[in-house]
Structure 1
């Protein structure tokens, strides 16, 4: 029989588990969601939040455990069944058709019909009612999605969910790409929905904002639900410590950085509305890690250094000389190389050989007189880098698709080392690799720094950031927020990324070396 909590709640999970091959993504998840309540779920990357949301939205099936919806045990068979129950998910990136107007986007594929014809008048009337429920103007109904702001598109996604008589609305990182004014509008809409009895599940990395919108917060770590807490009884630091398991250092930083001269310098650097006033230096032989939550501007700073994101203000110097990379090709000519975060989409030719993937992008190195490729040199360089980075492959002619994720990542890294870079930018260098390959890549990063390379790393893995950084710089809302030494505690860094200054002024310093006020 269902428990009393299950019968009183709108939705509950008990003892839910989920495996993907040999990886247990969710070990034990419990969740009780009440109608009219904003229920936040937080946890580090890999904590199990996304898997729980996929189970609730019907995208994945649980292995063991129970789901109770509206007092009855159920198995959510797929996305259509979830929507039929009244469970809708709105993701960070709007899943809408930019060319179509708002009204058509909301009812696309399930138009309101009178006989064989679409009843446009009735459909538009329903859309205007939905927009009014979110305090949006009726004129929005006829505007094309592509002309709307990110916040307006997100509200349209919520209106689309409401058009299906939603009872549980899941919002996945809804504020990550919004300005503060847009977040205020979003929160007002969420409160109205909660007042109407809709249960809101709110996923966010921005811990500070939870205190403005959430009623309760569930904390997950390593696939387990640690507990659900009344938000009034918590603070940012307390949530952060639960997420990381207390004041535990992740790994160790036993490499002494070389005392080299500043190699890369950023002063007042800005790019449109992505980041602003970024002051940062990376010396030769130093590993500087940029850490920030989703939408913080970390990725855009790395892109600007590599000539992808345009620099609109401030200065960038390389060994004291002003530079402004116009493109990735220009950046590479300056000695700035980048390892992309998404190796499959942005860094790898899957069905080509290891040797091809190492040489591509470095063709000027292998050109002979007359423009022909020096295949012998290509093979020798590939062989040398395969050995140096310990890439496990029978030979350089093997397609990259035959390698493990970690070895494929090392192939993409090898490409950046054909010519010794002056500055090496690594974006999520161990994303999607196993723990053994992760350790190997960390060692390679240390060796590159010891050889005099200036290394700038962006990572969403907090444990990795603390382990490899000589200096750890927290970026928040497109600005440098705090700087930490290698001895930083995870909860301190996470709290800073969420907007809280260090409790102990001696534990963190701002970029100018001044102590941060608590």
Structure 2
């Protein structure tokens, strides 16, 4: 924290904030105090009230009661323009930028600097260069098209745009959700430069481990109220999680017993052009296998191929011993393969339709009566049953999915896959962007499905998740299986394997002990062509 953060006067104070949407109470008596030059983490489960509080601060929503003070004076924020005039700017998870325009054009879009009626490009670029220097970005970026930049740099351009409004309070809403570890460090470096200059940061994240790298103070919200505010140095991940859910978090799943049965799903020498190759993998009924790899490793594409969304150029997919080749998601469903896609908003949800509609839409033949007519009563009954089973927080099945929190919307997509129990369930980033409570619930559901005999394939970039839920963890590197780990794998060893290094198994070390093994169960390494060799 910079010296300015040690000042006693808060920059921003919210006291007794209350907000209702119809009959739903989103926030009740919430408090927040942010100091100059401070990184203030705001955490809570999906639906805890974080987003509503931020919308009130950014002017997107009006509070019902309570008080907002900025630098000691009471203020009224009626809209986004009021917030920006005060110096409160928000940067959202998905950059609100136009990829075809330059960085300078994006930053000044709609409020261009003009001289004699014409846009003063030189003055704009000069001002943008100053903003970029504050974030350690090259001056040449001012004239670069945003679409040519990395995700981390696009995020920094969004921050530069916020700073162009002379922001004193910068709200970062899930800024690291789509970034790699290296890009997150770039973001953190930019944040540290800003706080050193006295800018206050409100940092919203579901990645609790980030708190202890970047935050000075943590405010926890639960059920629309602030539980408390704590120095980050006095907390750890488990304590934050327990404050969020109001109870004790289990330390992880127990060992699962998988029947010694024939594979439910088997991939044999599966390949897809230059995307992935030599994929040999089997999953038995009741087994959870996780695919893990760095960005561009081919993990997502392998999972998509099982569901018919990624073309397969060679090899075989076998379901209960029979060769199949899913041609489309619909064909895969007919075969008994279900998918939870990674991009739920674009690929999995009809946001303005009801929960019941979203549950039934992928299973319409089951709800038809007398040919083309829908059995609405059955549709609602099934939706209610799955709402209860998955603990989806919604007043009823008629509520539009757009009104649910992110974690609950995610569970709606999962509910659609469970109308009929699938033989194989493919989960792509199953808990990306959800809070610790929703993550625990989704993991519980995965455990239940496996216990009932479903073969589960998880493609994830969350290493903690992979080691928590998987019976076997397969590291994918350069499009092919590189190493395999059993339950309780050491994170450092898995990350080393993902980067291309594997510790050879010691004498007597077997698959399942946490050590690295080849995909066939024996320790091994890959030759120059990428093929697995048996360890000598």
Q: Normalising to structure 1: TM-score of the pair?
A: 0.67
Q: Distance in 2 between matches of 1:227 and 1:275?
A: 48
Q: Distance in 2 between matches of 1:121 and 1:279?
A: 57
User: Residues 54-100 of structure 1: CA distance to partner in whole angstroms, max 9, x if unpaired?
Assistant: 11111111122111111111121111110111000001100001111
8 Å CA contact 2:241, 2:249 repeated in 1: no
What displacement does 1:33 show?
0.4
Partner of 2:480: none
* CA separation of 1:91 and 1:277: change in aligned 2, threshold 3 A: farther
| 1:235-254 equivalent positions in 2, closer than 5 A | 235-247=236-248
Partner of 2:156: 155
Specify every segment of 5 or more residues in structure 1 that has no aligned partner in the other structure, as ranges.
292-296, 367-373, 393-401, 433-438, 460-464, 485-510
User: Residues 387-425 of structure 1: CA distance to partner in whole angstroms, max 9, x if unpaired?
Assistant: 766799xxxxxxxxx94559x999998986898843245
Q: Distance in 2 between matches of 1:275 and 1:47?
A: 41
Q: Distance in 2 between matches of 1:99 and 1:347?
A: 28
| 2:29 pairs with 1:17 | no
| 1:61-140 equivalent positions in 2, closer than 5 A | 61-140=62-141
CA RMSD of superposed structures (Å): 5.9
Partner of 1:370: none
Q: Distance in 2 between matches of 1:271 and 1:222?
A: 46
Partner of 2:205: 204
8 Å CA contact 1:381, 1:418 repeated in 2: no
* CA separation of 1:39 and 1:111: change in aligned 2, threshold 3 A: same
| 1:299-310 equivalent positions in 2, closer than 5 A | 303=304, 305-308=306-309
User: Residues 240-269 of structure 1: CA distance to partner in whole angstroms, max 9, x if unpaired?
Assistant: 2222223167xxx9xx99997652468999
What displacement does 1:284 show?
3.9
Partner of 1:185: 186
8 Å CA contact 2:263, 2:283 repeated in 1: yes
SS at match of 2:220: strand
What displacement does 1:169 show?
0.4
8 Å CA contact 1:17, 1:64 repeated in 2: yes
* CA separation of 1:242 and 1:100: change in aligned 2, threshold 3 A: same
Partner of 2:60: 59
Q: Distance in 1 between matches of 2:64 and 2:357?
A: 42
Partner of 1:167: 168
* CA separation of 1:229 and 1:300: change in aligned 2, threshold 3 A: farther
Partner of 1:28: 29
Q: Distance in 2 between matches of 1:202 and 1:87?
A: 13
Q: Distance in 1 between matches of 2:457 and 2:87?
A: 46
SS at match of 1:88: strand
Q: Distance in 1 between matches of 2:54 and 2:353?
A: 33
Q: Distance in 1 between matches of 2:87 and 2:473?
A: 39
What displacement does 1:32 show?
0.7
Q: Normalising to structure 2: TM-score of the pair?
A: 0.65
Partner of 1:47: 48
Partner of 1:500: none
Q: Provide the aligned length of Structure 1 versus Structure 2.
A: 459
Specify every segment of 5 or more residues in structure 2 that has no aligned partner in the other structure, as ranges.
1-5, 293-297, 387-396, 402-408, 435-440, 478-482, 489-509, 516-536
Partner of 1:494: none
| 1:115-514 equivalent positions in 2, closer than 5 A | 115-247=116-248, 262-264=263-265, 283-284=284-285, 303=304, 305-308=306-309, 318-319=319-320, 327-332=328-333, 334-338=335-339, 342=344, 346=348, 376-379=370-373, 403-404=398-399, 421-424=422-425, 453-454=454-455, 513-514=512-513
8 Å CA contact 1:14, 1:31 repeated in 2: yes
